[in-house]
A = this chain, B = another copy of it.
Amino acid sequence: MKYSIGIDIGGTNTVLGLVNNQGVVIAKDTMLTKDDNSNWDDFFKRLFQKVGELTELYPDLEPSGIGIGAPNGSHYSGMILDPPNLNMGNVHVPTIALEYTRLTVVLTNDANAAVLGEKMFGKAQNMTDFVLITLGTGLGSGIIANGKLLAGHDGFAGEMGHIIIETEGRECNCGKKGCLEMYVSAKGITETVIDLQKEFPDDPLINSLIDDASQNGELGYIDGRILDIAFDKKNETAYKIYSYTAEKLGLGLAQVATLLEPEAFIFYGGVSKAGNRMLDGAERALNNNLMSFQKGKIKLLLSGLPPGDAGILGAASLVFNAL
C-alpha cells in the first residue's frame, strides 16, 4: 500500500487528507484558505502545520508525496497564478514547500486534480477519453485523452467554462461574452433567475430563490436545493430554469464532443447534485447538436467519488500518477 497527502485549495476552504492508493481517505482536516493575514507565506505555514499534525497521527504510514490542486495551478511550472477569488498574487509552490518538507510536491489546477481522481478512483477507471466537469460557483473541466491528462502547451488547457455558446451572450468576468459558465454554474443559474424575475416579477419560486440568496442587500448565488425540491414538486418555473440550463449545457458539450469525441462527460460539484433534472435535457441537447455519426454514443454520468473527498483524492492521485 502507498500513501500520499492530497490538498485541495478552494476559494473558501482548503481540505487536506492522508489517502492510500486504493482511494481510501484515512484522515482529513480542513482550514480557511484566507485568514486575517492573506498571503501565501502565511497560508503555507498554516497548511504545513496541519500536514504535520495529520501525519503524526499515523507515524507508520509514510506518504510518498504531496499532491496539490489549486485554482490556476500550473502542472508544468509549479506556479499558482493569482486566483481571482483569493487576491493573494502568484506563488511558486515547489520553492515555498521546500521550507517545510522534503517530500515531492506535485501541483495542478483543481479541475485537473478532479479528473485524475475520477480516472484513478472513480467511474472512469477503464476510460481513456473522457471529460470531467466541475459544476460549482463556476464551471471547470479536466480532459483525459489517450489515457493521459491533456494539460496543453502551458498547462492551462481545459477551460471549458469559457467556450462561447452564445454569440453576444452574457458578459463574463473573463472579458468575453456568452461563456458556458455564465449559464451553467451557480453563477450562471443565478443570472438566469435574475433574468426571469424581470419577466415574471410575481413568480413565487423566483422570488423565494432570490430572497434566500440575498444577505444584507447583496445577492449571492441561489440555492440549488430549493430549486431541486421545487422541480420534484413539478413546479413549472423550476422546470423552465433547468430546461434552459440543460439546453445551454448540451450546446457546450456538443462543441467539446465535436472536437474530442470523449466516451463520457462526468459531472462533479455542488450544482451537479441536480443530477438528471438537468442531465436528461442536456443529453438531448447534446445529441441534437452532434453530427449523425456521433449521436447517441456519449455518456453523461455523475462522479463516482464521494462529494467531500474528490478534491483531496484527485490531488493525492497526482502523486500516485507521477511517481
Contact = CB atoms under 8 A, between A and B. Distances in A.
Contact of A146 (B150, B261, B291): B150
A140 to B, nearest CB: 12
Interface residues of A, number: 47
Contact of A259 (B256, B263, B293): B256
B259 A153 contact: no
A152 B259 CA distance: 8
Given A154-B297, A156-B293, A293-B156, A259 B163 contact: yes
A259 B294 CA distance: 19
Interface string A117-157: 00000000000110000000000000101101111111111
A222 to B, nearest CB: 25
Contact of A154 (B149, B259, B261): B261
Nearest to A159: B258
A162 B153 CA distance: 24
A255 interface: yes
A174 interface: yes
Nearest to A128: B153
A160 B261 contact: no
Question: Chain A: interface secondary structure?
Answer: loop
Contacts of A149: 146
B255 A152 contact: no
A153 B262 contact: yes
A143 B129 CA distance: 14
A260 interface: yes
Given A143-B259, A167-B167, A176-B289, 19 more contacts: A81-B293, A129-B153, A145-B145, A152-B260, A152-B262, A153-B261, A153-B263, A154-B297, A156-B261, A156-B293, A156-B294, A157-B260, A159-B261, A162-B258, A163-B255, A164-B289, A167-B169, A175-B292, A256-B259
17 contacts: A81-B293, A129-B152, A129-B153, A129-B157, A145-B145, A146-B149, A150-B150, A151-B261, A153-B297, A153-B298, A156-B293, A157-B259, A166-B167, A167-B167, A175-B291, A175-B292, A256-B259
